[in-house]
């Protein structure tokens, strides 16, 4: 059998259903019954409805962050599946879970796969740092913890290497917030001014409060199926036109190339496989657990040269109406921290023309980029 | 006053690292096959060539600040009184990088690539941890 390449994979799999939760409403309320599972079921139900599918048409179930696929399968009454598994609750896993779903479908192991992510971080008081949070025993001796501080190290180094200043990051945070103002489901929708940004407190300097992702409750479910089946479903199919991964696995989350080389390899692969170019990308979601990763991602994917990203993001270029709208739902710092899944949902909605006030006109080509220890990129399209 | 911050958790693999530190020596494993020196010392095979012929080599103790951050958020109750405190990512002369902190140094004078040297902080009778200070 001939070896399958990335090119054979092209356009064989589509996103046909997307469901999520009202992040803003969840942020302002508490419910003792709310947890990763109940949130996940809510999103799953919404995604089925969106796709016009019956739950029994799902034959593959991939969970992310929700610890037990068995408990979840029981909750949604899916006993006989052809694939089920759980991925860790890490942001880098969103693209991987989508790739896994696509592989299940391409191989014929599954026909229609639901990828379900749930996060009850606000309800349970998640901190993403500190004792018992998986920090290295060598690092905690000095009080070093959290991915945010690891990215702060990279941003400090970046500023040193290229002459960027702290205020250059404000462009990313304020652009995200401007987009969230157009997103009724976003957690934080009030305008964020440069002054407010610059007077906000540091978490791990040089990063400030507004450079950090939210800690909130919510869930996202994505349903994928083969392209032929997709054409018969309720909504216009969104094609997973190309996707690629490149790891950058070292002991530290702080790496000296700021994940750009990994992103570059992914971007070269998806542009090569799709035959599309940078000019074709109408909207781009970049995994922004912390704002510097937007700059690292843009440089890695060659939207600009290494060292120019901090200038590239200025003057509205990455805002709606700009040359390359980035994180049009408000991203992880203003819409919701769904560890990449909200960004996937946003690309699907943009491509379907369902993004409401934040719609990119006639959106046909979207990109997802994740600069992280597992870098990834997708190009997603509609016809 | 009792030391309340996290303590080293020696394992069967990295115990010599801590024991050398207690003697005020910074040593890391070096591969006798390919010469690779690495941190952390949590490995029994060289990550470069997978040889198990490792030796504990004494380092110069010199390096530079690759980057640094200042914690304002309280993640550990035992560091609460130190806020805002510095964590520096040190690149040792021999190549490996490790997280540490800086002493004898105002926050305002810290720069990336600033040359530093190790100092040994005897945090308890059992444990010494490496910190760094500017080379003036
Ligand atoms: Zn070796």
CATH of domain A13-125+214-377: 3.40.47.10
Residue A118, beta-bridge partner list: A219
DSSP label at residue B96: -
State yes or no: pLDDT of B75 exceeds 60: yes
* Å between B70 CA and nearest CA of chain A: 5
Query: Given this model, what pLDDT does residue A130 score?
Result: 85
Domain edges within chain B: 12-58, 60-136
> pLDDT tens-digit profile of B36-53?
999 999 999 999 999 999
* Å between B2 CA and nearest CA of chain A: 15
A205–chain B Cβ distance below 8 A for any pair? yes
ipTM > 0.95 (yes/no): yes
Query: Given this model, what pLDDT does residue A151 score?
Result: 98
Helix axis angle for A292-300 and A170-180, nearest 10°, is 100
A156·B98 Cβ contact <8 A: no
Query: Given this model, what pLDDT does residue A8 score?
Result: 75
The residue among A65, A127, A46 whose CA lies nearest residue A338 is A65
The residue among A250, A204, A221 whose CA lies nearest residue A373 is A250
What is the secondary structure of A168-211 as a DSSP string?
GGHHHHHHHHHHHTT-TT-S--S---HHHHHHSPEEEETEEGGG
pTM over 0.90: yes
Q: Find out whether A218 and A340 touch, Cβ atoms under 8 Å.
A: no
Query: Given this model, what pLDDT does residue A1 score?
Result: 45
Mean pLDDT per 10-residue run, chain A (383 residues)? 66 96 97 97 98 98 97 98 96 96 96 98 90 86 97 98 97 98 98 96 98 97 97 96 96 97 97 96 98 98 98 98 98 98 98 98 98 97 94
3-state secondary structure of A160: helix
A204·B82 Cβ contact <8 A: no
3-state secondary structure of A162: helix
The residue among A230, A238, A327 whose CA lies nearest residue A283 is A327
> Alpha-carbon Rg of chain B, whole angstroms?
16
CA–centroid distance, B93 to ligand 1, in Å, is 18
Mean pLDDT of chain B: 97
CATH of domain B60-136: 2.40.50
> Alpha-carbon Rg of chain A, whole angstroms?
19
């Amino acid at each position: 059998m001939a070896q399958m390449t990335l090119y054979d994979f092209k356009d064989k799999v589509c996103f046909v259903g997307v469901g999520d939760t009202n992040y803003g409403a969840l942020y302002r309320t508490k419910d003792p019954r709310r947890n990763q599972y109940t949130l996940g079921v809510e999103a799953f139900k919404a995604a089925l409805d969106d796709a016009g599918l019956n739950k029994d048409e799902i034959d593959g179930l991939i969970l992310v962050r929700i610890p037990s696929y068995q408990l979840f399968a029981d909750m949604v009454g899916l006993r006989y599946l052809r694939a089920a598994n759980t991925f860790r609750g890490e942001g880098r896993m969103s693209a991987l879970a989508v790739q896994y779903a696509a592989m299940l479908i391409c191989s014929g192991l599954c026909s229609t796969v639901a990828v379900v992510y749930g996060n009850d971080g606000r309800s349970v008081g998640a901190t993403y740092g500190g004792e018992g949070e998986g920090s290295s025993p060598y690092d905690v001796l000095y009080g070093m913890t959290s991915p945010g501080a690891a990215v702060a190290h990279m941003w400090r180094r970046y500023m040193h290497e290229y002459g960027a200043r702290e205020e250059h990051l404000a462009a990313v945070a304020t652009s995200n917030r401007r987009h969230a103002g157009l997103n009724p489901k976003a957690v934080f929708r009030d305008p964020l001014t440069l002054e407010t940004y610059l007077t906000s407190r540091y978490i791990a300097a040089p990063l400030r409060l507004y450079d950090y992702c939210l800690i909130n409750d919510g869930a996202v479910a994505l349903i994928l199926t083969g392209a032929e089946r997709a054409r018969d479903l309720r909504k216009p199919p969104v094609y997973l036109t190309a996707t690629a991964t490149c790891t950058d696995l070292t002991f530290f989350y702080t790496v000296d190339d700021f994940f750009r080389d990994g992103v570059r390899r992914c971007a070269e692969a998806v542009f090569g496989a799709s035959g599309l170019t940078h000019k074709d990308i109408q909207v781009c979601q970049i995994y922004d657990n912390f704002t510097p990763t937007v700059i690292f991602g843009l440089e890695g994917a060659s939207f600009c040269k290494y060292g120019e990203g901090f200038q590239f993001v200025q003057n509205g270029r990455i805002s709606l109406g700009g040359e390359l709208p980035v994180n049009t739902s408000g991203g992880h710092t203003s819409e919701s921290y769904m560890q990449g899944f909200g960004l996937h949902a946003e690309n699907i909605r943009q491509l379907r023309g369902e993004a409401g006030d934040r719609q990119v006109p006639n959106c046909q080509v979207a990109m997802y980029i994740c600069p992280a220890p597992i870098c990834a990129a997708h190009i997603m399209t509609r016809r | 006053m009792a030391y309340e911050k996290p303590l080293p958790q020696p394992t069967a693999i990295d115990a010599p690292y801590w024991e050398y530190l207690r003697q005020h020596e910074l040593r890391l494993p070096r591969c006798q096959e390919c010469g690779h020196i690495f941190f952390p010392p949590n490995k029994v095979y060289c990550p470069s060539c997978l040889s198990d012929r490792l030796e504990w080599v004494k380092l110069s103790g010199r390096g530079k600040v690759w980057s640094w951050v200042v914690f304002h958020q309280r993640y550990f109750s035992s560091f609460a009184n130190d806020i805002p405190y510095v964590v520096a990512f040190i690149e040792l002369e021999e190549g490996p990088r490790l997280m540490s902190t800086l002493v004898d140094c105002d926050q305002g004078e810290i720069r990336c690539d600033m040359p530093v040297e190790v100092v040994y902080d005897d945090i308890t009778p059992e444990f010494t941890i490496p910190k760094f200070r500017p080379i003036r």
